[in-house]
Amino acid sequence: MADARTTISLDAMIMADPKVPADLDAWLSKNDQRIFEELNEFLRIPSVSARSDHDGETRRAAAWLHAKFAGIGFATETIPTAGHPVVLAEWRKAPAGAPTILVYGHYDVQPPEPLELWTSPAFGPQVRDGKLFARGSVDDKGQLWIHVKALEAQLAVRGTLPVNVVVIAEGEEEVGSEHLGAFVEQYAARLACDAVVISDSSMFAPGIPSILSSLRGLAYFEISVQGPSSDLHSGMYGGAVVNPAMALARILSTFHDRRGRIAIKGFYDKVTPFPAAVLRGMRRLPFSDARFRREVGVKALGGEAGKTTLEKLWTRPTLEVNGMLSGYTGEGAKTVLPATAMAKVSCRLVPDQRPEAIERLLKAHVRKVAPPGVRVTVQHLHGGRPWRADLSGRVFDAARRALSAAFGREPVVVGEGGSIPVVGDFERVLKAPVLLVGFGLPGENAHAPDEWISVDNVRRGMRAMAMLLDEYVA
């Protein structure tokens, strides 16, 4: 897939030679082959959290990671939850009074289907054209790996770390992090830290390191429509019995107005404007709608009238249908009036919307518009709060310096349309700033066939994240 932002350059921001400390750089270069061999091992484990028939593999990924942290000298525990376990790894030998950094990542991945659209097998990592292809390469095993190796490099070269480090790696991010909020509360004392660092997002464009200033939240629903007690002959019954598929279509068609706004009463009540400086920065980023259209393969874009694409993606809430199921979908024709219909629907949320409130509003809306003759139920599957950072303070300054050194140019500030449910919990429970610094790239195919991470970004990312620890105490 062509990607929208590859050819854009921000030359004015290019700095001289990247300046990574020679000892760290040399160790990472010397160990480069082993680093990628081990990452490939991690990527070969099909830790698909959504699939219960893969639970053994998901656990194997946790055990594999556990062994790696133990191997580099971290006190490591694999802690069971009601779902997949959390790997908690701690290194607390920094000088007295040294700060503590918490690193978070996830070892679970999205299902790889449709398998036939992968050029090489989803769990058979392969490098082509500087890209490492595999499910989980960018989301998030490869990015978590950047931190593991940054820590290993520091320990190998210096024999110590300048800060205490706690790592938590979860196995349920891709299914909504259901048990992690409670985990963070229960283990709050062990997780206490001065800053949280997460790499589970993307850079704005190749060569342009990026710091995230916001994530959207999520509220995910299943809407079920039950009609007659069984499928019916559409000739014998059609016209007199309400068709659940049509009823569902009607309900779905009420969710937006003509201008692309969400027509659920009260939906926008808690939406607060983004700071003017953030919006100004967003407008300065080089972004082309035409390229974006080409990247996704459409002739026209949609959404709310009067908003730019980046505004729509980063600062506005949405309601999308994620899947639909009803009636006959096999080969040929079948004249049937289906008994049921189902849609998966999710809302992306922005500050200060709350998933629980959106659940109430959406349920009230569906009750109001559901036609008679069918029974409609709405189930809330999972949710997460939106997040917005105030990018001032020590960890952000350190990140700017480390990224500048490793990438040879200053980072830009970007927003993001995706969600990482635990980020809000970290901020709320641990009261620590969260630095989101991602190493993916546009077109990386996260959640899709042919997911990849740039090999160069992994290399620079390891250097930047190793330096971050030095810069944090500088």
Where on the chain is the footprint of Zn ion (CB under 5 A)? 139-140, 200
Nearer to Zn ion by Cβ, of 135 and 316: the residue is 135
Which positions ≥6 away from 280 have C-beta within 8 Å? none
| Contact call for residue 419 and ligand BES (CB under 6 A) | yes
The nearest distance, CB 319 to ligand BES, in angstroms, is 14
Applying CB under 6 A, the site for ligand BES has a residue count of 15
Residues of this chain, 378-417, that bind ligand BES according to CB under 6 A: 384, 416
Q: Which of 25, 57, 174, 450 binds ligand BES (CB under 6 A)?
A: 174
Task: Locate 272 and state its tokens.
Answer: 């607060």
The nearest distance, CB 47 to Zn ion, in angstroms, is 12
CA quadruple 77, 93, 192, 422: dihedral positive or negative?
A: negative
Alpha carbon distances (Å) from 406 to 15, 117, 268, 276, 412: 11, 34, 41, 30, 14
| Contact call for residue 418 and ligand BES (CB under 6 A) | yes
Per-residue DSSP letters for 135-180? TTTTTTHHHHHHHHHHHHHHHHHHSS-SSEEEEEEES-GGGT-TTH
Residues of this chain, 425-454, that bind ligand BES according to CB under 6 A: none
The nearest distance, CB 139 to ligand BES, in angstroms, is 5
The nearest distance, CB 93 to Zn ion, in angstroms, is 30
H or E stretch covering 214: strand 214-215
Question: How far is residue 259's CA from residue 263's CA, in Å, rounded to a whole number?
Answer: 10
Window contacting ligand BES (CB under 6 A); options: 87-95, 179-187, 247-255, 418-426: 418-426
Question: How far is residue 56's CA from residue 52's CA, in Å, rounded to a whole number?
Answer: 8
Could you say which DSSP state residue 13 is in?
A: G
The nearest distance, CB 191 to Zn ion, in angstroms, is 19
Q: Say which entry of ligand BES, Zn ion, none residue 419 contacts (CB below 5 to 8 A, set by partner kind).
A: ligand BES
Q: Say which entry of Zn ion, ligand BES, none residue 421 contacts (CB below 5 to 8 A, set by partner kind).
A: ligand BES
Task: Locate 420 and state its tokens.
Answer: 């990482």
Residues of this chain, 213-232, that bind ligand BES according to CB under 6 A: 218
The nearest distance, CB 110 to ligand BES, in angstroms, is 7
Task: Locate 399 and state its tokens.
Answer: 């990140």
Could you say which DSSP state residue 205 is in?
A: B
The residues that touch ligand BES, with contacts defined as CB under 6 A, are 139-140, 173-174, 176, 200-202, 218, 384, 416, 418-421
